[in-house]
Structure 1
Amino acid sequence: MDAFKKYVAEFLGTFTLVFIAAGAVCTDYYLRKSSGQGLGILGISIAFGLATTSVIYAISYVSGAHINPAITIAHWVTRRINPDTAIKYILSQILGASLAGFALKILFPEALYTVYLGTSTLGNEVSVLQGIIMESIISFLLVLTFCGTVLDKRAYSGFAGLAIGLVVLFGVLIGGPISGGVMNPARSFGPALASGQFTHHYVWWIGPIAGSIIAAFLYDTILAEEEAKTVSTKKK
């Protein structure tokens, strides 16, 4: 039953995150269409960051609040989570993101073929390589912060949600014009599935996963406590 609660928490947390983050893009489109002034990149960034913060405080004590396949994969490769649990986490995240995408499709029908329900897209004249590099860097910073605030026992965990939320906010703000500042494959997949927009979709899997794995290994190798390094290498 405890394991089931974790999967439900990841499902609900990812649903909330994607619904708010992608929903902010849809809202921005509707506002610009009706009044000419939308949320803008800053408003979308704040929505994404605050949603992340809220979800972490709401479910971190249940599942660890991964709400991101890239973070779960980083846990997997550094042996902080077993393969069976990791796969179920990722499936829960993808299902939550997909439900959020279809909910947005019902609520924002005019955003389906305009902003593709908030689906990630590359900026004008931005190459695939640039998109992957941007997503890798901001995802690296996200997971480095996650490791330092959530996983490291030396840190004061009460600030974890705020610190991670701020990294997400700035990641969207900086990465928005290039790659959308997604840092999360599920955030991209849910709206893409609902809208059918999968152009260059692999960018938002390769970039976040690569950056997350590098950050997790770097933290374990250099920054973690010696005791934590030993425990991590022994986990299966």
Structure 2
Amino acid sequence: GPCCLGPATDGTSGTKPFRGVFEQFVQPCLAELLGSSLFIFVGCLSVIENTEGTGRLQPALAHGLALGIVIAVLGEISGGHFNPAVSVSVFLIGGLNIILLVPYILAQICGGMIGAGLAKNMTTMNYAKVSGAAFNTVQVIMTLFLTMVVCMGAVNECTRSLLAPLCIGLTVTADILAGGAVSGVCMNPARAFGLAMVANYWSYHWIYWVGPMSGALLTASFIRYCRPLIFWGLDTCLYNFPV
């Protein structure tokens, strides 16, 4: 199964059925929804913002990097499908419970719509007519992607990977390839502040603080919201996150 945890050890028998259902069915579908949204968002945005000089290279790199990263950080939870065709093939060889097949596909379709919708509304053509608040959304989502990789790939012992440093670096690469033309995709307030100070250029500087901090809060909220519902015992992954 997609979850890496054993049975609860807190002796609260009344919570076990709910905990088991959430672990086995809800959590994997949420992972497929989140992973599909991020993968499709990065991929679509890289195509929309692709420059003539790069040809197919920019979208190819962005798609490949984004997919590899979401599989690396969410694969332990859901198997890392993010594609109905993959889910069907895994099901046919006995690698996916039939109860999860349709929910997986629905989660992937919903994720695709979310990612494509966000990408459509974050292009430079659309942003030319709106205020700096719109650019902030790009910073939020790209930082959410980065901080999720850090938290799931380098901090949480259940999903920690030796490839975390590489995945984190590749996440930054994918984010810049996909959204660099929109708002610079800084994802680092310290970096933005240093550049603004040296250049004495403060226009829209606030988005490089509000966006990344909001993305970090969303990542933490997602993890903290799911973990208490899933991980009840002291030996579980909830307590492998520093408090």
TM-score using structure 1 length? 0.44
By percentage of residues, which structure has more helix? 1
CA radius of gyration, larger in: 2
